[in-house]
Amino acid sequence: MLMLRSSSFFCILVAITMIINLNSVYGDIRSEGGVLNEKGIQWCEEEFARYETMGEPLFLKNNHYTIEARACANLFKDSLWDYQGLDRVEKLIERSKFYVLAEIEESKEEAKKLVDDPTPTEVDPILLAIEQWKSGEI
């Protein structure tokens, strides 16, 4: 009887630990304000092969349409993703801020219209060009 209680307790403890760890994944990859941090960019890099294999719609669905996954999807399509300089991570963090803010703005507009669109924001090419100019890319 004591052995059964111990093993049940152990199973419950393991389950709780797994749930806590699973829920904390997305919390660790964003800094204040929702911008991807260094761990977030690393997560995007780890997910890139899956994105290419699955395609964007399935990748987003598999990641529950999180803002992090949508920011990564936008980064994957950005020419900056292929940049190989020593400051690559810093530049990607900065660009993620642009995409996250665009996602937040789009979500606000969609909420006013009662629209639920979990796909990545289609960024205005002019705004992206301004962002690229500010970062010295063009």
Give how far Cα 99 sits from Cα of 18, 31, 38, 127, Å: 30, 14, 16, 11
Mean of pLDDT over the chain = 81
pTM, rounded to two decimals: 0.72
Task: Look at residue 95 and tell me whether its pLDDT is greater than 80.
Answer: yes
Buried b (16+ CB within 10 A) or exposed e, 40-64: bbebbeebeeebeeeebeebbeebe
* 37 or 2, higher pLDDT: 37
